[in-house]
Amino acid sequence: MSLPQLLISMILFLILFFGIGFLLNMVLRSTWIMAVLYPIIVILIVDNVEMLEYITAPVVSLTQLGADLLALKFVDILVLLSGFVGAIISGIVIRMLRVRGYQMF
């Protein structure tokens, strides 16, 4: 991945998860819902195992998940971390807006 692709991917993930997190926090009247859900989303992005296998064969599927997480390249980790930063920023923005008196839904 070239540097411009990396920067654009990081910005897109940051904005994407900021927007999704902001909307979820606003509609569900919570502050950190996206920051809590983000690790689950990362698992869904990274793993090659079906969700049902986590219930039927947990040891094998969790071992495979660990191997998939360790196989991530540095640029993949940077992109995923920028999405997590966007989710955190959305929680901070919602909290700041509520402190200042804005009520959403």
| 105 pLDDT tier (thresholds 50, 70, 90) | low
pTM (predicted TM-score): 0.84
Q: Which of 10, 35, 13, 11 lies closest to 24, judged by CA?
A: 35
56-98: pLDDT as tens digits: 999 999 999 999 999 999 999 999 999 999 999 999 999 999 8
CA distance 68 to 46: 7
CB contact at 8 A, 38 and 17: yes
Residue 20: the pLDDT is 93
